[in-house]
Structure formats: C-alpha cells, structure tokens
Amino acid sequence: MLLATLSLAGEASLPAEARAGEVRPSPEESGGLSFLGTFSARAVTTDVVTTNPLVNGQVIGELGGTNSTTTGTEAGAYTEERVGAFFTYAPRLLDGRAALDAAFEVDFAFGDSSYGTGGNTGGAIGADSVNLQTRRLAGRFELLSKQTLVVGLQFVGDGVNDPSRSRLDDLVRSGGRLVFWGTEAAGVALYGKIGSPAAETLRYRVGGFTLYEQAFAAGDDVSLAVADLQLAPAHATRVGLHGWFLRDRAGGSAGLLGSGPASALSEMQGGPRLDFRASEDEVAPEVDVDVAWIGADLGYNAALDAGPVGVHGVVVGNVGKIYVADHGDIGVSGALVDVEGRWRFAPGEGSVARLEALYATGDEDGDSTYTGVLTANSWGIVGAVHATHGSYLLFPDPGAINRAISVVPDVSGKGAGLVAVSSSVGFDAVPNRLGVTVGVAHARDAAANALGTEFNGRVSGRPLPLLNVSAIGAGVGGTALPEAPWTMMLTLDWLVFG
C-alpha cells in the first residue's frame, strides 16, 4: 500500500480553471486556442513526518493513519511545486459550438528524484523525468442554446455548475459543496440553463460516469449517475435538488488500494473501513455496494455578488445496501448537514468574516446497518474535497500539492461521524493587495469525542495582478498524535491565461 501512494499524491487541488472564472476569456466566443496556466510553489516547515522513506515527500490522507505519517519532536522542511496547463481549442469553422478541453499537470518536491518515470516526482538534479499527468480530456458540444454536452475525462462536482465554466464559489458554495464529489471521471454530462444571466430561472445537470472498468466482459464495474436541478425563485436566491447513484460491483478490488467502504483506500483517506470478517484470520469477503445520495441546498448571495451578506446550506442523506459475500446485506442510512454564513464588512475580497458548522451522522459497529456518511473518498484518490473550512491541518488544505495530509480528511470521520465548527476573519489593509486572515476550527466525532482544534493565520500580498504570495502558520491541539501538529509555509500562486 505504501508503495502505491507514490503515484497517488498531489490530487487534492480544486479545479484550477474555476479560479479564473471571472477573468478568463471564453474560447467559444472568440474561437481558436485558449490557455490557462497555474503555477504554485510552497516552502514548508512542519513537525509532520513520515515513518517510511518510500513515501517521504508524496503522501495523502489521514495524519496518523495508514499512510505512515505522524508527528515528531523535530521539524522538517521541504519545498514543492505544481504547474497545471489547461487548453481549450474551439474551431472557428464551428462558430464556437464545439471545443476540445485538455488539462495536464506536473508536480514534484524539490530534489526528490530524476531520470525516472511517474507522477509527482522529477525535481532532483538533472530532472529529465517522464511525469506528465492527464487531468482532463473531453469534447464539449453546444447542442442547443445554453445546453452543453461534455464527453470524456472531466471534473465531476456535486451540483449543477459546469466546473470548467464556473467560479470557485459556484462550486464550493452550491450543491453538495464538493464534500461528496469533487474529482475527475470519464463519462458524459449535460449542463443546461433557462433564462438570461440576469434573470436565470433554472439550471440542471444530468450525467453518467464509469469510475472503474475492469474486465470488459464481466459485470464488475463501478459506475455513477447524477441528476441535479437548481431554481432561482427570488433575487440572489438559489434552491437545489440533487440525486446521485453509485453502483459498485467490483467486490472491493478496483484500483491500487481497493475500493468501497471496506477498502484500504477508504481507510487511508479517513473514510470508513467496514470489517465483515468473523475473525482476523479470515480473508476479507467481497463487498459490492448500491448507494444513493438525495439532497437539497439553499443559498442566498452565496458568492457575495449581490451584497455584503451571504449564506449557504446543504442537507444530504445517503441510503442503500452493502452486499457482503457469505454474510448478508448491510443497510446504509446516514446524513450530513453543512451551513456557512459570510459577511464582507470592508472593501477588498479578503475582508470577510465567516462561520461554518457541519454535522455528519456516525456508526458504532456497522454490523447490521451502516449509519454513517459515504463520500467519493471511498472510491477515488481525493474523490471529495471539503474546501471552505479555512484550515491547513485539521481538515484538508485545498492548496496542498504533494503532501495533502490532515487530521480529519473525510467528513465521515472514519465512519464515526463528525461535528465541526470553523470560523475566520480577514481584513484587507490595502483592498485586494495586502490582507491578513485568522481562523479557528474544531472537530469532534458524533459521539462527542474531541478530534482536535486548529488555530491559524495568514498574511497575503498581491505584488502583481493574479500573483499571490502568502505566509501561513497553523497548529492543532487536542489530538491523539504523539506531538501537536503544526506547520509554517510560504506560498506563491500565479494564474496565467491567454
């Protein structure tokens, strides 16, 4: 398992193209080739260490879990880098009604390796590594006015917004907030809307994706179907209804570390690891799953476009069956509620006070019924992204490159449930040029056992347009780790388009 994590790291970032939603030109309007580039680098000092040298520098998942990470008495340091390239080609002959989307990524830790093959490496002397990773590769077709069909490898969110044509707030503050689904998958999705941007009345998404295709002639695959609807009943108000269904017939064996709620993959990423063995000497049985998520969300000015105050909340329940060979069926019934409010109290995009509360049901034993939450983290590498908490160690840092490690990486709380509260206050001393943010976050499981409390701070500057530089510090207390985890880092993020 530890060897496999070498190729799994560096998948935690949110859709980079969404960060440019307000400034990026539309290739469909102009035709031809459009490019978006992202450059991120960070120098980190931390007491988080790995106990296995094979995963030093590239690791994801639960801090203190099966990924070999823990905390030590001495600090370590590293520097890492990521470059993403997003291309869209819209032939002028088709007048912008069809386009090809492609995205590629290279990331590594400085000095990690050279003259090799594989993702997430290539920063040592000499470089010369084969390390290009494909993140998107899809055709985009405008079938009718405001109806877009996307076919191929694409980002899959958990709401109506097309990730490659939306702002970041549109994704993390609508639908399921990427808490359940926020990853790449190959399939077909249809996005549509009715009304003008100023008077939009309805949006929708329907789609189907093949998550794992194993033997072509056997019914041992994992597939996902999605249907989402969003209404605009009043000014700045959005109401969404959501249904997603996953059919898993892989027996828990898909992927490098297995798949599903009984897999090592799920455990490594902080999801449940349901054990249906009568004793430790038995071989784990095959596990198939049918699970549906039914949810609703409500937002008022969630992106702070129409005033200084915004709120968004979502309620999602998951129901279904887990089919365990020679054991019988296990029912699934769990739920999650997440509510966030924000107030822009002064000029500048960083002058925002924020408060978020999240509750997810938990499960005690999972023998007859699993009453916790399931997310895409049980099936894919960073399959879901909890991104709005403002934390760096207690919950997953959405800006992480190769070391995406946190105390609570999945909202299921390892199947035991989660009660979380997070808050932050930021102020731009120079609007949109220089700002400071302080934050706090606390987490417990559904049985009220404390998981940790984080305090953090960030000073950010923008010396050039679309270039952000930040100094960040964070520490977490109240964990079961040998030492309290802490980190300090300098980050640089640059957005390039043309």
What percent of the chain is modeled with pLDDT above 70? Answer: 94
Q: List pLDDT tens digits, range 399-454.
A: 999 999 999 999 999 999 999 999 999 999 999 999 999 999 999 999 999 999 99
| Burial class of residue 197 (count of CB atoms within 10 Å of its CB; 0-12, 13-18, 19+) | exposed
Q: List pLDDT tens digits, range 361-370.
A: 999 765 689 9
**Cα(306)–Cα(297) distance, rounded to whole angstroms?**
19
Nearest residue to 404 (alpha-carbon basis) of 53, 54, 69, 4: 69
Note whether 38 and 82 are within 8 A (CB): yes
Angle, CA of 29, 191 and 387, to the nearest 5°: 100
Note whether 11 and 60 are within 8 A (CB): yes
Average pLDDT, the chain: 91
The two tokens of residue 12 are: 């935690």
User: What values do phi and psi take at 268, rounded to 5?
Assistant: -60, -30
Task: Give the max Cα distance, the chain.
Answer: 65
Strand partners, 37: 85, 496
**Cα(207)–Cα(270) distance, rounded to whole angstroms?**
27
In one letter, which amino acid is 318? N
- Decide if pLDDT at 292 tops 60: yes
> Which distant-in-sequence residues (6+ apart) come within 8 Å of 11 by Cβ?
60, 183, 381, 382, 404
Q: List pLDDT tens digits, range 49-91.
A: 998 877 777 899 999 999 999 999 999 999 999 999 999 999 9
Query: 4 pLDDT band (50/70/90 cuts)?
Result: very low
| Burial class of residue 32 (count of CB atoms within 10 Å of its CB; 0-12, 13-18, 19+) | exposed
What's the number of CA atoms in the CB half-sphere (13 Å) around residue 468? 20
pLDDT given at position 303: 95
Is residue 463 helix, strand or coil?
strand
The two counts, helices (H) then strands (E), for the chain are 3, 21
Note whether 18 and 163 are within 8 A (CB): yes
- Decide if pLDDT at 259 tops 70: yes
Which of the 8 DSSP states describes residue 170?
A: H
- Give the global pTM: 0.93
- Decide if pLDDT at 22 tops 90: no
User: What values do phi and psi take at 376, rounded to 5?
Assistant: -65, -10
Nearest residue to 176 (alpha-carbon basis) of 8, 396, 340, 369: 340
What percent of the chain is modeled with pLDDT above 90? Answer: 80
Every domain of the chain and the residues it spans: 4-497
CATH of 4-497, one of 3.40.190.10, 1.10.490.10, 3.40.50.1370, 2.40.160.100: 2.40.160.100
Tell me the Ramachandran region of residue 61: left when phi exceeds 0, alpha when psi lies from -120 to 50, beta otherwise. Answer: left
Average pLDDT over residues 258-279: 92
Note whether 288 and 262 are within 8 A (CB): no
- Decide if pLDDT at 104 tops 80: yes
Q: List pLDDT tens digits, range 88-97.
A: 999 988 888 9
